[in-house]
Structure 1
């Protein structure tokens, strides 16, 4: 039995947990304000807010309901456009949209309104409204009027020096007054949090092996939403063993269910990687970053998976766990074996990923080229971690995506760099080695020759970014 709060209503359902939240909202609850658009998480027409209980508070995030399994709503507060309507007037966001003529046909408007409402609920003055609507597409209005509506909301929120409580947002007409009682209602829900792991003592190994295991489904549901709706799935998103970011004895460990947003917003990771938030703005949109997990990105096994390229360059280690709780560790660089083939048995799941915390002499960079700067998959992406001591390269871990059947850890290039002097000739020669170990193919994201050029230029870009005063890049780029 799945139990959650949908707007101001407690829902109890035995509907298949693999059904998309979008289809449950529209077809089972007849709430048609949540629109069906691309069904790929790109357009934002199906945006809803998910509230998760955290102590006495509820934290809200925007997600694309077309890619979210219904079972992941268990114990949560799901908010649709109908759930933020006020009794007799437009709410603050709806009024800003109308005042700035930010809607025409209206199909996309509910998604925009929810994303901006999520921005208000997030209570984070360092964010901009444009970031919150990064996953919403409008086909007819034009974005300037929508940006003006968002700016009006920013100004309204920033009038107050203090962070905004739920009570303040209710008073100012952002949300209905029932939001005040959601924490108590969530605490009162009686629901099971059993998952694929915690239920294994009573579930057979054979069942575990044959049943699809799902975290948040941002890739799986793009291709197999109908299949997932018709079968049992093991939902992993609430499994405690797969959660958390920790730092101990010089090692950072991230649970396989860690989302891209959780990584980008982690203060300690931001201190280790000062450009972390900048890197992660190149990864999908805010709703997808709120959902997409490390483990999901790795087992998706895309040759251009951003997180795979990122953590390959960190020389990370994977911990894999089977149905008995036994664990094994492997270097992440050996995980992907061939196109969509990886070192994971049917009775195993990824538990976590870990890497050595960078020292003062180590540097890291991430680069990505796609047809659009944001909200797009890469043509080629690349990352690099390098340690330099007294002008000599003592560690090198570079990776590149889009140039092989798997996310490519550059074994030969990294080996070549070790012990070499940090100068333009070393980098230029290493770029030639790089070309010898990649094998890009021509496809919709570019020709083989174009991808080879991108791999070379992104490799140079790492050094240009990390060591601008040491390199004669004018000569290097002209070579």
Structure 2
């Protein structure tokens, strides 16, 4: 049984755990304000808010999610908010809705509910509301007819109104200002009672679907689906593993609805920590949790710039790191980033035995993993970069944001006395698997940061890749892209170097 609060009402359902939350909300609960758009997580018309009880049991952390790709089982023990659940008694518009109306930010209105929910979720955030963070909150919403300037003006007005929001007890203030109804203040206690009533922690494996392990995959633009989860020798690996849902619910929704699944999104394998010179991630850590991690941001100060290129806020709230890995997409953004960091995966089999495998060794061929059918990724680690190390990630796609890469690449260097002493370069979209360019890295060792070194590395790199022509570009175009992105790495590492020298 899946139990959660939908707006201000408790819900208990035996619907399949792999059902799309969107379909449950519209067809089971008849709340049709949440719209069906692309069904791929790109347009944002189906955006809802999902609130999860914090460890202190006193407050909720809300995130925007695309309900078309949210497995119903993932909202067990949580608070789901649709557009029908945000207006105060009396039906007057909220400040978010009023700002959009006043700034002429709605025309046909189809996408408007998604913008409203995303901005309402931003209002519920504990983080300061700035112009950039408010605009970023709607990076997963597409408007097809109004134009974004009116929505940006609405966002600017909202930012100004949120300047008075208190740092603590903000839900009470938001309720008084009619951003959300009064019942929001009661939800933490209601969810705590629901947890006690069901006798479970939030979001366990639902409907008795507690085995698992058919291979699962992710879409290559960072839409991650985790191949990790708890297991025991008494539980045979017979069912698909389902985490964020951001790829499988695009490709196999009807199939998954017809069978038991093992839910992994809330199984505790989250978070980032440092241990004995290594950074360790739970396999179900989401892209948003990477972005929010003080450990990751301290080691990779430009991480926000990199992850801004990976899908959108709602998808980053759902997609997991290990899921991006096991999808085995040749252009998985997180995979390419972690290859250059020298990541290793920990695999656990059904008997409980663990083994480590370098991420680069996980890929045997196109969509083929060096992983037994009963093995799951449980943990990811990489050596913590030193303060003076260089790291950079680059991506080119037809759209700058929310798009699949044509080519992506990352590079890590350690330089001592102007000589490269260690190097890793990765590349996606130029071979059948995500590539760690071992020969290119070896070439760089012992050489200076110079234009000649970059030219030589490019020659080695071009011999190491094997791009094909497809809808994302010709093979020749991809070779040119990777060359230019290699230049971009070194221009970042050695600002005194010029593009003219590299040519």
TM exceeds 0.5?
A: yes
Distance in 1 of aligned mates of 2:337 and 2:230:
33
Select which of 235, 240, 244 maps to 1:204. 235
Select which of 244, 248, 256 maps to 1:228. 256
Distance in 2 of aligned mates of 1:340 and 1:367:
23
Q: Which residue of 1 aligns with 2:151?
A: 146
Distance in 2 of aligned mates of 1:282 and 1:49:
22
Question: What does residue range 382-401 of structure 1 map to in structure 2 within 5 Å?
Answer: 382-401=409-428
Shift of 1:112: 0.7
2:66 is the alignment partner of 1:35: no
Q: Give yes or no for contact 1:263–1:269 (8 Å, CA) kept in 2.
A: yes
The answer to which of 69-78 and 87-96 deviates more is 87-96
The answer to which of 264-273 and 54-63 deviates more is 264-273
Question: What does residue range 291-330 of structure 1 map to in structure 2 within 5 Å?
Answer: 291-330=318-357
Question: What does residue range 42-441 of structure 1 map to in structure 2 within 5 Å?
Answer: 42-54=42-54, 55=56, 56-88=58-90, 89-125=92-128, 128-160=133-165, 162=167, 165-189=170-194, 190-191=197-198, 192-193=200-201, 194-195=204-205, 196=210, 200-201=231-232, 204-205=235-236, 208=237, 210-240=238-268, 242-441=269-468
Shift of 1:174: 0.3
Q: Which residue of 2 aligns with 1:9?
A: 9
Q: Give yes or no for contact 1:64–1:287 (8 Å, CA) kept in 2.
A: yes
SS at match of 1:140: coil
Q: Give yes or no for contact 2:126–2:167 (8 Å, CA) kept in 1.
A: no
SS at match of 1:291: coil
SS at match of 2:470: coil
Deviating above 6 A after TM superposition, structure 1's stretches of 4 or more consecutive aligned residues are none
Q: Give yes or no for contact 2:235–2:350 (8 Å, CA) kept in 1.
A: no
Q: Give yes or no for contact 1:25–1:31 (8 Å, CA) kept in 2.
A: yes
Q: Which residue of 2 aligns with 1:475?
A: 501
Q: Give yes or no for contact 2:87–2:178 (8 Å, CA) kept in 1.
A: no
Shift of 1:360: 2.7
TM-score (norm: length of structure 2) = 0.91
SS at match of 2:371: coil
Q: Give yes or no for contact 1:19–1:230 (8 Å, CA) kept in 2.
A: no
C-alpha RMSD of the superposition: 1.5
Gaps of 5+ in 2: 212-228
The answer to which of 146-155 and 195-204 deviates more is 195-204
Distance in 1 of aligned mates of 2:161 and 2:33:
26
SS at match of 2:310: coil
Aligned residues: 472
Distance in 1 of aligned mates of 2:397 and 2:64:
24
Shift of 1:200: 4.2
The change in CA–CA distance for 1:160 and 1:244 in structure 2 (over 3 A counts) is closer
Q: Give yes or no for contact 2:270–2:283 (8 Å, CA) kept in 1.
A: yes
1:384-416 deviation line (CA, Å, top 9, x unaligned): 011011111111100010000111110110111
The change in CA–CA distance for 1:146 and 1:318 in structure 2 (over 3 A counts) is same
